[in-house]
Amino acid sequence: MAESAVVLLSGGMDSAVAAAWTRARGHPWIALTVDYGQRHSAELAAAAEIARRLGAVETVRLAVDLRAVGGSALTGALDVPKGGAGGGGIPPTYVPARNTLLLALGLGLAEARGATLLVLGANRIDYSGYPDCRPAFLEAFQALACVATKAGIEGRAPQLLAPLLHCSKAEIVRMGRSLGVPFECTLSCYDPDLDGRACGACDSCRLRARGFSEAGLPDPAAPPERGNRAN
C-alpha cells in the first residue's frame, strides 16, 4: 500500500504543484489548509477547489487566528509593499513563525492519520526571503518531529518533503503544467481585492508573473491589467 501524505495546501501555486507532485507519486494525500486570519482569505476557497480537482482523499481546514499575534502585513494593518518597494531584507509580509505553526499542525494531523509524509511547497530560489523557507529550518523541523511525537520516538516520524525547495518559479510552472495543476484556480497574491482577484503588483504576484514569463507560458489566473508580463 502506498505511503499516505499530508500536504499543506494554501491555495497558491507552489502548494498546488507540491500536491500534484505528491499525487503523481501515487501517495493518497490529505489537504491541510489553515485559516490563520490572513487578509488573502480568498486563498482558502482556492485551496478547497484545488484539493477537489487534484483528488485529495480528505480535506481538513483548521483555524488559528494569528491576527492576535500581529507583526505582519498579511494579518494586520501594515501595507503590503507593491512594485518592488520594501527596501530589501525580510519583508513585512513575513508572518512570525508561520511555517513552524503550520508544520506543527501538519505533523499532528499526519501522526493522527498514520501518514508517513508531510509535504509543503517551500521554495528558496524565487521567494520573498522568509527564514522559514530555508533548508536549515526544514532540517531542524525534521529533527523536531523525531523527538516530539510518539511516532518519532518509535522511529516512525513523518518524513518532511519540500519537492520545490531548489526550483525556480519557471521550473515550478513547467512542473505544474506537466502534472496537470489547475493554475487557473490558484491565487498567489498577498493583497487580492474583495472579489479574490490578484493585485498584480505585490512581491508574490511579481514572482509568479516572472515564473510564467520565463517558462514561456500564459498565466490563466493573471489579472487583465497585468496580462502575462513580469514587472
CB 28 within 8 A of CB 19: no
Residues in the chain, pLDDT under 50: 226-231
- pLDDT tens digits for range 104-137: 999 999 999 999 999 999 998 877 788 999 999 9
| C-alpha cell read off for 64 | 488559528
Q: What is the pLDDT of residue 86?
A: 57
Angle between helix 203-215 and 169-179 (nearest 10): 70
Q: Return d(Cα 49, Cα 73) in angstroms, integer.
A: 26
| Residue-range domains of the chain with CATH | 5-215 (3.40.50.620)
Where do runs of H (alpha helix) occur along 114-202? 135-148, 150-153, 169-179
Q: What is the pLDDT of residue 51?
A: 98
Q: What is the pLDDT of residue 128?
A: 76
| C-alpha cell read off for 37 | 486570519
Q: Return d(Cα 14, Cα 155) in angstroms, integer.
A: 30
For the chain, the straight-line distance linking the first and the last C-alpha, in angstroms and rounded, comes to 46
Q: Return d(Cα 160, Cα 5) in angstroms, integer.
A: 10
Q: Return d(Cα 114, Cα 125) in angstroms, integer.
A: 32
